[in-house]
Amino acid sequence: RKFNNEWCIKYFIVQHNKDVVCLICQSTIAVMKEYNIKRHYDTKHSASYDSIVGQSRVTKCSKCDGEFIKSCLEIFIENVSPEKKNLVEQISLSRFTMARRIDDLSENIEASLKDRISKCSAFSIALDESTDVSDTAQLVVFIRGVTDNFEVTEEFLDMASMHSTTTGQNICEEVTKLMNKFEIDSSKLVGITTDGAPSMVGKNNGFVKRFLDVIQTENVLVSHCIIHQENLCSKVLGFGEVMKNVVSCVNYIRSRGL
């Protein structure tokens, strides 16, 4: 099926790698048919975006949010307080300005995180790998450290895109890059938490084995993420009978209230 460019304006969607992606929620629409696209828009976004019509709708598609908001502010100020219109015009919300501000914020956060990590006497990391809407594997790493004064730092460390395979060796290389990027002393590592997948904890080629070989240490506690364990348990255990009794008790109490 051929992508219709009019769908971009009507439903705020674009074509990306033969898939149809919603610009509002970034979700992928499985079938490239107007019926499916319209159903997605009507179900999730119609209430918020139907008010944008005509040229404003075209403008919304072609501009970033900053430029669109600025144009709305200019119209508002012109009608409410015309003498202050110059102040709004001086505000720069272009794509490039916003990108520079984001880069500045990113550099500041990275420097602050490096400083806090350097003060930790011990730390642990938790990591997980998943695939995004563009079929690219994303590796997310969190770090938790403690200082000699028992001040705890727990932060999102970084996210690395993995464009090839996601073997234990690939994950090990990405984590090693992050350790070097944030100038982390690997000798202070005391714990690693993963989802227990073979690529993470495989006996010979898993990430944990390869990473501990790289940093040359063995005194590290390896844990299985409790959230993944709970999810696995919920699939195995049958709670139907328990929920049946709970619902029965609740309905009995509600129907016989004082």
C-alpha of 247 from chain center: 36
The DSSP call for residue 188 is G
pLDDT at 42: 86
Give the tens place of pLDDT for each residue, 156-211: 999 998 888 889 999 999 999 999 999 999 899 999 999 888 889 888 889 999 99
Residue 54 has pLDDT above 70, yes or no: no
* Span(s) in the chain for CATH 3.30.420: 120-233
pLDDT at 63: 53
Residues 6+ apart with CB under 8 A from 116: 145, 153, 155
Residue 112 has pLDDT above 70, yes or no: yes
Tell me the helix, strand and coil percentages in the chain, rounded to 5: 50, 20, 30
- What does pLDDT average to over the chain? 82
Report the predicted TM-score, pTM, of the whole model to 2 decimal places: 0.58
Residue 64 has pLDDT above 70, yes or no: no
| Torsion (CA) 216, 221, 227, 229 in degrees, nearest 10 | 100
Band of the pLDDT at 108, cuts 50, 70, 90?
very high
Q: How far apart are CA 153 and CA 126, in angstroms?
A: 13
- When pLDDT is averaged across residues 84-103 and rounded to a whole number, the result is 77
pLDDT at 171: 92
Q: How far apart are CA 29 and CA 140, in angstroms?
A: 25
Give the tens place of pLDDT for each residue, 9-51: 777 778 777 778 887 787 888 788 888 888 888 888 877 777 6
pLDDT at 144: 94
CA 198-200-202 angle, 5° bins:
50
* CATH code matching the domain that covers 120-233, chosen among 3.30.420, 3.30.70, 1.20.1070, 3.10.50: 3.30.420
Give the tens place of pLDDT for each residue, 142-158: 999 999 999 998 999 99
- When pLDDT is averaged across residues 229-239 and rounded to a whole number, the result is 77
**Secondary structure in 3-state letters for 29-95:** ECCCCHHHHHHHHHHHCHHHHCCCCHHHHHHHHHCCHHHHHHHHHHHHHHHHCHHHHHHHHCCCCCH
Q: Cite the DSSP H helix spans in 81-158.
A: 85-89, 95-118
- When pLDDT is averaged across residues 80-99 and rounded to a whole number, the result is 76
Q: How far apart are CA 204 and CA 168, in angstroms?
A: 9
Q: Nearest 5°: phi and psi at 216?
A: 55, 60
